[in-house]
Amino acid sequence: MGKGTRGHAQPARRWAAASEEGDVAAVDGRVRRSRDRVLTTAFELLSESGVGGFTVDEVARRSGVAKTTIYRHWPSREALVIDAASRISAEQEVPDTGSLEEDVMAILANLGYLLGTARWSSVVPSIVDVAERDPEFAGIHGRIQRGHAAPLRKVIERAAGRGLISATADPATMVSALIGPLYYRRWFSREPIDDQFVKTIVSNVISSHRATGVRGRGPHA
């Protein structure tokens, strides 16, 4: 498929989310190049200026792709923003060392590192802000969010399946307790996220929820 479908494609629906690439849009080499250049530039601009400072004219200037061409691929500024924002995807591996604590530590250390270096970390606040009022962006935000939490969740649920976690423990609560502090430091308190911090968070959460004969939980009920 691909080339053969050219004649039947509806031009109005030519633009598509980044997730469904490889269909109609990949007809021509030029198309692909333009699309990629625009999307890359758009994502850069998004991380620099946020959703509010994002303009099609600026994308056109930086990418070298004519504004008219951009509008031939995306029906509106919003569509382009959405498409660019959808590039935030984690695609992280799920470690399996046998030790829950080590697995979690690996994931969170990597997350902490990304929060300090990756471009998307400066885009997220914009997404969160817009999502607060725009349902469509709320959907995008939800997907990004679940994507970022997925490896952690998987590791925890796997450990639960293996009986390594207290039966009363709730995986969702553990995820919040683990990721929350890192996000907090990155976007709210703006404190650095060092390994010592991550280690403290991880070991506290894990040990609080460990399933053992010897009660791993503290005193006081």
Closest approach of DNA to the CB of residue 34, in Å: 3
Closest approach of DNA to the CB of residue 6, in Å: 7
10 touches DNA by CB under 7 A: no
φ, ψ of residue 210 in degrees (nearest 5): -70, 145
Number of residues written out for the chain: 221
Residue 84 binding result from its own copies, DNA, none, given CB thresholds of 5 to 8 Å by partner type: none
Which residues make beta-bridge pairs with 43?
A: none
Residues 18, 26, 31, 177: which binds DNA (CB under 7 A)? 31
Name residue, tokens 């976690």: 165
Distances (CA, A) of 109 to 144, 187, 198: 19, 17, 7
Structure-token pair, residue 167: 């039966």
- Collapsing DSSP states into helix, strand and coil, what is residue 217? coil
Residue 41 binding result from its own copies, DNA, none, given CB thresholds of 5 to 8 Å by partner type: none
Structure-token pair, residue 181: 């502090």
The CA-based angle 187-36-67, given to 5 degrees, is 95
72 touches DNA by CB under 7 A: yes
Site residues, DNA (CB under 7 A): 6-7, 11, 27-31, 33-35, 53-58, 64-69, 71-73, 75-78
Site residues, its own copies (CB under 8 A): 48-53, 101, 122, 125-126, 128-130, 132-133, 138, 142, 145, 149, 170, 172-173, 175-177, 179-185, 187-191, 197, 200-201, 203-210, 212, 214, 216-221
